[in-house]
């Protein structure tokens, strides 16, 4: 048996991340005692519509986050309890709504720093509605074996250590959250554990008082004694003493009161909870509370250290009187174990997981990214350049100095080709339409394909095939290409010709052949092909795509990496065009009518739909 929270308690949590963390802890308890999930819904306007993943043991539950209380209660009519975690400035409104909601009987507020006036108003409102408003600043409510509200009870291991999976005979009432946990532990160690434990919070004006809960414990047959931990300030402990002394009570009361140290402290010095402040002439002092409780018949040790002994004594008296019958407890070994996470089990080496993807080029799990094993900063400090990073990430090899120089030149001569070509023009149109850089650049990127910039890979691929399959047989190669592929990729130019050669091609060929020692079978083959094709037609020259493709094959880059050089290089240009248009604050553009041939049907009436 229990008070406040039981097997039928179902809760809504008002608040964000702290509330979600509490829900996770609550679900662990539900798992321990094999109870359906206590938490039903969250209310948190900033995250309305989201779902929160809550594990009850190995079972994953998706708990909905609502933007306001009303729909949450409509969707989940079984909710009878609210836990409030939302920030102090919104706490009053949230708690008020919960108190006024007919289905909610118990409201426990965890939020700290609620203004006193708000707390007083909420207390009054709860009294008017006949509701229990627990807190503010409460760690929560625990009913052993039945329900956990909040993070009270701590981690999973502690739930077992404090026997919270089954009811005992002791009730616990505290202001402090930490001491509620300590008291549950003391009851498990020196007695048979707890029925319910309630932390009312250490504020000046808590929403409830000890007497309210003592009345409930008195009516709960399973509770035989209550451990109350009070402190200096206010009058809740005196009221508890008065309650105890007013008539014969079934339950025994054990109490410890904090704050006797204030007797010897310099005047005016006080500390602890907000509510821990002594009144005039010793009213509310720890000593006067202890005396009042003792006179009323409570067991009151001089110090907290005496609490263990007092609990043990009361427990033995209750056994002797037959009020508590010692029963064989649940075998702890039969209690469920919290399922570990995959990471935990992997650390133990007890599970094998097949990876979803594999990478062979880079790794950033250490202090910094490593490219093919080399730390990025070390590459920088040893004088490597962007060409070497391309070599490592695209080809898993560090290029030689000569190779790096060639790669650098390939990127440089391909970086941009003015605004008129498909790629740059695409980016410019997007920039003028106010599109952000990544999307505008990808608009230009979209143009790269068989007719624009995308011939590098195929040029490299077929010239390499030619070297292998048709050495010294250019006509054979051309015939095969004509039959199987069509025009030779990398051959031909719209504007350039033998008479009007492409300077970039000439430069690259000269550089590679005359200033480096690179072995160039592909390039040589392509130049031989060019001799044959230009004899047929003046503009069937080896173009820049073809030249680059051949050189890259000769540099031993993988075939499918070749278009990447054009993509990479041209990205520089497209970014440049986007920046340029934005710098000029360019306006939206559209084609002039005279640039379009409107070869459409003349205007005509729309027929009736058949």
Partner 1 sequence: MAKILEGPAMKLFNKWGIPVPNYVVIMDPNRLSQLGEANKWLRESKLVVKAHEAIGGRYKLGLVKIGLNLEEAIEASREMIGTKIGTAEVRQVIIAEMLEHDAEFYFSIIGNKDGAELLLSNKGGVDIEENWDTVRRMFIPLDETPSIERLTELAAEAGFEGEIAERVAKISSRLILCFDNEDAQSIEINPLVIRKSDMRFAALDAVMNVDWDARFRHADWDFKPVSEIGRPYTEAEQQIMDIDSRIKGSVKFVEVPGGEVALLTAGGGASVFYADAVVARGGTIANYAEYSGDPADWAVEALTETICRLPKIKHIIVGGAIANFTDVKATFSGIINGFRESKSKGYLENVKIWVRRGGPNEAQGLAAIRQLQEEGFDIHVYDRSMPMTDIVDMAMKS
User: Which spans of this chain sit near partner 1 (rule: CB under 8 A)?
Assistant: 21, 25, 88-89, 112-118, 120-121, 123-124, 139, 151-155, 158, 161, 174-182, 185, 202, 205, 229, 231-232, 256, 258-261, 263-274, 276-277, 286, 302-305, 307-308
Strands 140-143 and 194-199 come out as: antiparallel
Token duo for residue 342: 């995959």
Q: Which is nearer to partner 1, 190 or 457 (CB)?
A: 190
Spatial distance between the Cα atoms of 139 and 551, rounded to a whole number of angstroms: 71
Spatial distance between the Cα atoms of 307 and 254, rounded to a whole number of angstroms: 8
Find out whether 40 and 74 touch, Cβ atoms under 8 Å: no
Token duo for residue 242: 């008065």
Q: Which is nearer to partner 1, 282 or 449 (CB)?
A: 282
Q: Give least dist CB 44 to partner 1, A.
A: 18
Given the residues 64, 76, 129, 273, the one annotated as active site: 273
Spatial distance between the Cα atoms of 243 and 239, rounded to a whole number of angstroms: 6
Q: Which is nearer to partner 1, 222 or 229 (CB)?
A: 229
Q: Which is nearer to partner 1, 270 or 531 (CB)?
A: 270
Q: Give least dist CB 269 to partner 1, A.
A: 5
Q: Which is nearer to partner 1, 311 or 448 (CB)?
A: 311
Spatial distance between the Cα atoms of 110 and 103, rounded to a whole number of angstroms: 20
| Cα dihedral value 116, 122, 123, 129, nearest 10 | 170
Which helix (H) or strand (E) covers residue 537, if one does?
none
Q: Is 436 exposed, middle or buried (0-12, 13-18, 19+ CB in 10 A)?
A: exposed
Which residue in 306, 274, 300 sits closest to 286, CA to CA? 300
Neighbours of 530 (CB within 10 A): 23
Length in residues, the chain: 610
Q: Who's near 514: CB < 8 A, 6+ residues apart?
A: none
Find out whether 559 and 460 touch, Cβ atoms under 8 Å: yes
Q: Give least dist CB 182 to partner 1, A.
A: 4
Q: Which is nearer to partner 1, 159 or 456 (CB)?
A: 159
Q: Which is nearer to partner 1, 271 or 507 (CB)?
A: 271
Neighbours of 499 (CB within 10 A): 7
C-alpha distances out from residue 556 to 13, 161, 261, 518, 551, Å:
62, 66, 82, 11, 9
Q: What are the helix (H) ranges across 202-326?
A: 210-219, 236-246, 286-295, 307-320
Token duo for residue 38: 């206590």
| Cα dihedral value 502, 505, 507, 508, nearest 10 | 170
Which residue in 323, 117, 130 sits closest to 223, CA to CA? 323
Q: Give least dist CB 342 to partner 1, A.
A: 20
Q: Give least dist CB 56 to partner 1, A.
A: 19
Find out whether 542 and 573 touch, Cβ atoms under 8 Å: no
Q: Which is nearer to partner 1, 118 or 554 (CB)?
A: 118
Spatial distance between the Cα atoms of 108 and 136, rounded to a whole number of angstroms: 7
Q: Give least dist CB 25 to partner 1, A.
A: 8
Q: Give least dist CB 197 to partner 1, A.
A: 11
Q: Give least dist CB 86 to partner 1, A.
A: 13
| Helix/strand/coil percentages in the chain, nearest 5 | 45, 15, 40
- Is 273 catalytic? The answer is yes
Q: Which is nearer to partner 1, 145 or 177 (CB)?
A: 177
DSSP 481-513: HHHHTSSPTTB--SS--SSS--HHHHHHHHHHH
Spatial distance between the Cα atoms of 477 and 488, rounded to a whole number of angstroms: 10
- Residues with catalytic roles: 273
């Amino acid at each position: 048996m229990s008070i406040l929270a039981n097997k039928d308690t179902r809760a809504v949590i008002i608040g964000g991340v702290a509330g979600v963390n509490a829900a996770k802890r609550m679900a662990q308890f539900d798992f321990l005692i094999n109870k359906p999930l206590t938490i039903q819904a969250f209310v948190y306007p900033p995250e309305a519509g989201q779902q929160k993943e809550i594990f009850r043991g190995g079972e994953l539950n998706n708990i909905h986050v609502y933007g306001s209380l009303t729909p949450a209660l409509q969707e989940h009519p079984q909710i009878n309890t609210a836990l409030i975690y939302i920030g102090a400035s919104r706490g009053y409104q949230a708690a008020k709504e919960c108190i006024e909601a007919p289905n909610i009987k118990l409201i426990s507020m965890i939020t700290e720093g609620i203004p006193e006036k708000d707390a007083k108003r909420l207390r009054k409102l709860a009294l008017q509605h006949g509701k229990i408003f627990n807190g503010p600043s409460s760690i929560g409510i625990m009913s052993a074996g039945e329900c956990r509200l909040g993070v009270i009870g701590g981690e999973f291991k502690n739930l077992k250590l404090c026997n919270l999976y089954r009811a005992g005979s002791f009730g616990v009432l505290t202001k402090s959250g930490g001491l509620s946990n300590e008291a549950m532990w003391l009851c498990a160690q020196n007695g048979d554990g707890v029925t319910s434990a309630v932390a009312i919070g250490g504020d000046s004006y808590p929403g409830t008082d000890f007497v309210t809960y003592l009345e409930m414990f008195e009516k709960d047959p399973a509770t035989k004694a209550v451990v109350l931990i009070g402190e200096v300030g206010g009058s809740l402990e005196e009221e508890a003493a008065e309650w105890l002394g007013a008539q014969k009570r079934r339950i025994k009361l054990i109490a410890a009161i904090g704050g006797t140290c204030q007797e010897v402290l310099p005047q005016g010095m006080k500390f602890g909870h907000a509510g821990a402040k002594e009144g005039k002439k010793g009213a509310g002092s720890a000593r006067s509370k202890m005396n009042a409780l003792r006179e009323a018949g409570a067991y009151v040790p001089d110090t907290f250290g005496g609490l263990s002994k007092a609990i043990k004594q009361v427990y033995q008296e209750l056994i002797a009187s037959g009020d508590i019958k010692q029963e064989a407890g649940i075998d702890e070994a039969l209690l469920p174990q919290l399922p570990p996470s995959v990471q935990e089990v992997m650390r133990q080496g007890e599970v094998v997981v097949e990876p979803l993807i594999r990478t062979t080029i880079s790794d950033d799990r250490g202090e910094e990214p490593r490219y093919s094993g080399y730390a990025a900063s070390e590459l920088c400090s040893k004088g490597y350049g962007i060409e070497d990073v391309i070599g490592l990430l695209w080809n898993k090899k560090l290029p030689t100095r000569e190779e790096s120089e060639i790669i650098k030149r390939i990127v440089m001569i391909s970086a941009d080709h003015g605004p008129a070509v498909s790629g740059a023009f695409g980016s410019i149109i997007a920039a003028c339409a106010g599109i952000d850089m990544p999307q505008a650049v990808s608009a230009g990127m979209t143009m790269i394909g068989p007719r624009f910039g995308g011939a590098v890979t195929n040029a490299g691929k077929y010239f390499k095939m030619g070297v292998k399959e048709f050495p010294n047989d250019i006509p054979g190669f051309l015939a095969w290409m004509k039959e199987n592929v069509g025009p030779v990729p990398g051959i031909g130019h719209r504007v350039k010709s033998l008479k009007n050669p492409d300077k970039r091609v000439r430069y690259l060929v000269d550089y590679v052949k005359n200033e480096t020692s690179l072995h160039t079978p592909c390039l040589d083959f392509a130049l031989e092909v060019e001799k044959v094709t230009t004899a047929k037609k003046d503009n069937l020259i080896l173009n820049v795509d073809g030249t680059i493709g051949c050189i890259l094959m000769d540099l031993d880059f993988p075939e499918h990496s070749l278009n990447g050089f054009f993509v990479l290089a041209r990205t520089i240009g497209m970014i440049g065009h986007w920046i340029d248009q934005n710098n000029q604050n360019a306006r939206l553009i559209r084609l002039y009518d005279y640039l379009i041939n409107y070869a459409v049907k003349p205007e005509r009436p729309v027929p009736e739909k058949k």
